[in-house]
Chain A
Amino acid sequence: MNNIKRNDQGYLTDFSQWTKEVGEEIAKEQNIEMTDKHWEVISYLQDKHTKEEALSIRGIKKSGIINIKEFYNLFPGGPLKKSTMIAGIPKPKSCI
């Protein structure tokens, strides 16, 4: 974990350094216990990132992976902020 590069907010600056173990560690910092559903969301986010598609809460609603209520339950206190950090991708810049 020591040689993983992160910015001052805690986001990975190089996605290629991401492994499931790294995600697990960041989740622990956020007091989130990862389940299969969490990982399903994480791979959806990473897939979007790879395709360079912008993330938004509306996108989550349409994703077919998870609904908004569940999303807030899985990642309490700022779901898109926390999930993207665990996924090793940048924090979304969109206001919606």
Chain B
Amino acid sequence: MATKVKKMLFILSKATLDNVYAAFIMANGARMEGIEAEIFFTFFGLEAIQKKKIEHLHVATVGNPAMHLPTMLGGLPGMEAIATKMMKKEMEKLDMPPVGEFLEILSDSGVKLWACKLAVEMFHLSEKDLIEDLDGILTIGDFYNRANEDGTHLLFI
């Protein structure tokens, strides 16, 4: 069946667990439908591809009205950890892989993973801090060039 969407380019700028999973699930879902997919990790999104930080991403309990938790409570020590633990438990029930394993699945599925050059420099990172499966470090211009064909969509998360 022909589809009008041929390629999805995701820009992930946040490291909260819900945003990271949104990007990963949509990228994987694209590949499963025969659509090409790439993710550009920029600003805090870079946390999701830093070896040391991958398994320590959190959900935000402050400034997140969907938590239905008073802001003052959300700011108490340990609240983010508890909320994150609960969310991870629910995700495991649905057989959703942890971030590190998910990145492997994406890479094996042919999703291209790119780090933003400016953000890498800003956070004083180098390639050795980033996951092995990374396809490279790009400028935003390089990334736009990858959108240079019909049926490509860009999505900022």
Minimal beta-carbon separation of B107 from chain A (angstroms):
9
B96 touches A96 (CB 8 A): yes
**Of A20-28, A31-39, A44-52, A64-72, the one with at least 4 CB within 8 A of chain B:** A64-72
Q: Which of B25, B33, B101, B104 contacts A78 (CB 8 A)?
A: B33
* A residues apposed to B, CB below 8 Å: 9, 54, 56-59, 61, 67-69, 72, 76-81, 94-96
- In the assembled complex, 18 residue pairs joining A and B whose CB atoms fall closer than 8 Å, in A order, are A57-B32, A57-B109, A58-B95, A61-B104, A61-B108, A68-B108, A69-B108, A72-B108, A72-B109, A77-B34, A78-B32, A78-B33, A80-B32, A81-B32, A96-B94, A96-B95, A96-B96, A96-B97
A56 touches B33 (CB 8 A): no
Q: Classify chain B's interface size.
A: 10 to 19
* B residues apposed to A, CB below 8 Å: 1, 25, 28-29, 31-34, 94-97, 101, 104-105, 108-110
Q: How many A-B residue pairs have CB under 8 A?
A: 45
Residue of B nearest to A60 (CB): B105
Known: A77-B34, A78-B34. Is A95-B29 also a contact (CB below 8 A)? Answer: yes
Q: Apart from A81-B32, A96-B28, A96-B29, what 4 extra A-B contacts exist at CB < 8 Å?
A: A58-B97, A67-B108, A72-B110, A78-B33
Minimal beta-carbon separation of A86 from chain B (angstroms):
15
Minimal beta-carbon separation of B101 from chain A (angstroms):
8
